[in-house]
Amino acid sequence: MAEPILNVENLSKSFGKIKAVNQLSFEVTKGQVFGILGPNGSGKTTTLSMLLDLIQPDSGGFQWFGQPPSKGSRKRIGSVIESPNFFPYLDAVTNLKIVADIKDKPYNDIADILQVAGLYERRLSKFKTFSFGMRQRLAVASAMLGSPEVLILDEPTNGLDPQGIAQIRDIIAMVASRGSTILLASHLLDEVQKICNYVVVLRKGVMLFSGNVKEVLAVSDSIELAASDKQELVTAISEYPGFSSLTESDGIIQVHFSQPADTAAINSFLSQKGIILSHLADKKRSLEQHFLELLQDNK
């Protein structure tokens, strides 16, 4: 069983009449790339701020590494909630040394961190000469100082162009490959789908869904089928467990189910009835489709 890194139980926070986070519970285990996904105003940043003791919850609580939050546990966590204020006239190395001093971290991994962030060749360039994407990468690099066991990133790709997004994604993959646990918040569905292996979906501070990203993507709304005897196929598939409805277009029958459908099981079922398929394909929902459906269902 995977080691729990973070346990959150019934965490709540209000600002006046606004319930920013409402009875939120989830668990993050060692080595996960865990995504908190939601539109703006869903409570993502408030949640991360509470987990870093930047703001206090109204009720509920959490544990880091199986213990109540403490100064010791915070030293095991690197984070970027807001972009650090780097000194514009100092180079990348000097800026990271200043951050290391503030965090009481050694300098010995700065060169490696800059390599991972793709900034080593510009390590002696002044911060003011950096592009927006480079500044974002330096912010992530600052969170990596001291090789933290957990890296917390709030909207790490926000405002970046596609190249910048890909670069941040590569950094996260590299850090995760080294065994770090990553907790990131984002409203970018595609990025969560590509980066994370587990996701929690928030809307107005309420958790709508949590689960393994691959399991979410494996849920199929429909299956496309074709065979030489169309009527025989229609009759047979109508008897399959969970069958809901079907439509036909250009010789392809699209079958809808009331529960997850497995293409291998369907192929075996039809084969036993003597039907040889000429076409079989599942139509998987993207995380975006699933997310939008959740939001629609919970309005």
Domains (range + CATH), the chain = 4-216 (3.40.50.300), 219-297 (3.30.70.100)
Q: What are the backbone angles phi and psi of residue 85, rounded to the nearest 5°?
A: -90, 90
Q: How many CA atoms lie within 13 A of 26 on its CB side?
A: 26
Phi, psi of 136 (to 5 degrees): -65, -40
The pLDDT, as a whole number, for residue 118 is: 94
SS3 35: strand
**Residue 299 and residue 294: Cα distance in Å, rounded?**
9
Q: Using an 8 Å Cβ cutoff, are 262 and 284 in contact?
A: no
Residue 98 — very low, low, confident or very high, per pLDDT cuts 50/70/90?
A: very high
pLDDT, residue 196, reads 93
Cα angle for residues 23, 68, 81 (degrees, 5° grid): 65
If one counts every other C-beta atom within 10 angstroms of the C-beta of residue 104, the result is: 9
185 vs 285, residue with greater confidence: 185
Model pLDDT, residue 12 = 97
Label residue 290 by pLDDT band (50, 70, 90).
low
C-alpha 164/C-alpha 132 separation (Å) is 9
Question: Cα–Cα distance between 147 and 149 in angstroms, integer?
Answer: 7
pLDDT above 80 (res 67): yes
C-alpha span between 94 and 73 (Å, rounded): 27
Residue 83 confidence class, pLDDT cut points 50, 70, 90: confident
Helix axes 162-177, 132-143, angle to 10 degrees: 20
Yes or no: say if 154 and 48 are a contact pair by the CB < 8 Å rule. Answer: yes
Cβ–Cβ < 8 Å for 7, 25 = no
Choice between 137 and 217, residue whose per-residue pLDDT is larger: 137
Residue type present at position 86: F
| DSSP symbols for 220-241 | EEEEEEEESSHHHHHHHHTTST
Q: Is 272 helix (H, G, I), strand (E, B) or coil?
A: helix
Which residue do the tokens 């459906």 mark? 293
Is the pLDDT at 75 greater than 70? The verdict is yes
212 strand-pairing partners: 198
Q: Look up tokens 């900034």; give the residue.
A: 119
Distance of alpha carbon 261 from alpha carbon 270, whole angstroms: 13
DSSP state of 138: H
CB 198 within 8 A of CB 213: yes
Q: Which of 100-114, 173-187, 274-288 has the lowest mean pLDDT?
A: 274-288
